[in-house]
């Protein structure tokens, strides 16, 4: 059961678990995302092949409890059920920090990294413009609270994915 739940989480958040080395990663990175990368120099500190996303999510769930229903709602509607609860938003920040999507202080996004991690299919269609989406969602973040900022980034990305791939 736990495995099924985790598999579901992985589908929803579409983290790349078994994705290969950074050479492939570079090929997969859209030009736009690369040029707008603000944390490119931090990429080397987090090797994509080393990341155990399940472990990251489990660890983050210890500090910031999140129910599966929140993750499912994020997948299906693009937002959490209850947006006043800060804890699940801090779960997102925790995961993002640990997979290299956002800097430690929660301010700087790495759109190329996010594109790499969120790459995949949606509604049976490969998301070929994921880099444009992550760049757009990273570009215009106004939130000062780090948890809110990571949450709104994810909300932006999920909303774009849904708009583009579920409704067409």
Ligand X SMILES: *[C@@H]1O[C@H](CO)[C@@H](O)[C@H](O)[C@H]1NC(C)=O
Does residue 55 belong to the site contacting ligand X (CB under 6 A)? no
Instruction: Tell me the C-alpha distance between 155 and 81, whole Å.
Output: 12
> What number of chain residues touch ligand X (CB under 6 A)?
15
- Contact between 103 and ligand X by CB under 6 A: the answer reads no
For position 76 contacting ligand X by CB under 6 A, the verdict is: yes
Specify whether the CB–CB gap between 64 and 144 falls below 8 A. no
Q: Which stretch binds ligand X (CB under 6 A): 34-42, 58-66, 102-110, 128-136?
A: 58-66
The interface region with ligand X, picked from 37-45, 67-75, 129-137, 143-151 by CB under 6 A, is: 67-75
Which residues in this chain contact ligand X in the complex, by CB under 6 A? 5, 8-9, 11-12, 61, 65-68, 71-72, 75-76, 166
């Amino acid at each position: 059961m736990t495995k099924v739940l985790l598999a579901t989480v992985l589908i929803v958040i579409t983290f790349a678990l078994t994705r290969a080395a950074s050479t492939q990663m570079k090929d997969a990175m859209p030009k736009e995302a690369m040029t707008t990368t603000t944390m490119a120099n931090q990429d080397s500190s987090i090797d994509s092949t080393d990341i155990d996303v399940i472990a990251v999510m489990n660890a983050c769930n210890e500090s910031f409890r999140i129910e599966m229903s929140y993750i499912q709602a994020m997948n299906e509607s693009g937002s959490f059920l209850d947006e006043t609860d800060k804890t699940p938003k801090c779960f997102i920040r925790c995961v993002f920090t640990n997979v290299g999507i956002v800097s430690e202080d929660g301010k700087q996004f790495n759109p190329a990294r996010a594109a790499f991690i969120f790459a995949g299919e949606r509604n049976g269609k490969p998301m070929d413009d994921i880099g444009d989406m992550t760049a757009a969602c990273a570009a215009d973040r106004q939130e000062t609270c780090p948890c809110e900022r990571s949450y709104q980034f994810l909300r932006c990305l999920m909303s774009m994915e849904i708009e583009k791939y579920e409704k067409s």
